[in-house]
Amino acid sequence: MEPTRASGLVDGPDHDPREREARQAVQLQIAAARRGPATKLAEAEAIVRELTGRVSELSMDLRPAALDTLGLIPALLSHSQRYEARTGVRVELRHHGLDRCLPPEIEIAAYRVVQEALTNVARHAGVDAVSVQLLADDRLTIVVRDRGHGFDIAATSGAGGLGGMRERVELLGGGFWLEAAEGAGVVVTAELPLARFGRQMMGDAS
């Protein structure tokens, strides 16, 4: 594994311009709603919440611009640098076998899994460090581990970010596993198949 810290990197683009435009449109609708009659405010805010949810779903499907300009590992390092500055949680990133081109859909899925897992750590784990490992052979294995508060898996609905990660991975023929217990931290593991994309990857490398 190659250990890599996020500090010292140039801050690369993380959000697609289309995502920024969509979010700005939602913000404008919020401002307009609050200037309207008070009797319509609750209805307007309900509509805005729905729009915000749709923008969030759309943004998760867009390819992060950083993947095109930097590549997967540099993009993750750039994201980790901003994450550390924003949350105070140190990201310990290790990777092996990623000195080759990966299919775009695999890169997007890997980036989003790490992104969402880190978001959950900042919100719920109560830790000052998180481990991220990526290993590529005939599949890409991603493991995000924290030693924080944990939670009771049986009490979760599977919706939201965790459910979205699982769906994204399984749509590509991969597997997704979640290990958690109250007081014992959380381990998120995703496996994405690479063998089925072998010809494409060889073509990119030639």
* DSSP labels, 89-149: PEEEEEEES-SS---HHHHHHHHHHHHHHHHHIIIII--SEEEEEEEESSEEEEEEEE-S-
Count: domains in the chain: 2
Nearest to 141 by CA among 117, 176, 171: 176
- Total residue length of the chain: 206
Assigned domain for 82 exists: no
Domain membership of residue 34 as a residue range: 17-61
pTM of the predicted model, to two decimals?
A: 0.68
**CA torsion sign, 63 to 66 to 71 to 77?**
negative
Reading phi first (left if > 0) and then psi (alpha if -120 to 50, else beta), residue 126 is in: left
Residues 96 and 177 in one domain: yes
Residues 174 and 112 in one domain: yes
Cβ atoms within 10 Å of 120's Cβ, excluding its own: 20
Residues 44 and 146 in one domain: no
pLDDT tens-digit profile, the chain (206 residues): 656 555 444 444 455 566 666 666 666 666 666 666 665 677 777 777 666 655 655 555 567 788 888 899 999 999 999 999 999 999 999 999 998 889 999 999 999 999 999 999 998 889 999 999 999 999 999 999 999 888 877 766 555 677 888 998 999 999 999 998 888 889 999 999 998 765 454 445 44
Residues 139 and 92 in one domain: yes
Residues 103 and 57 in one domain: no
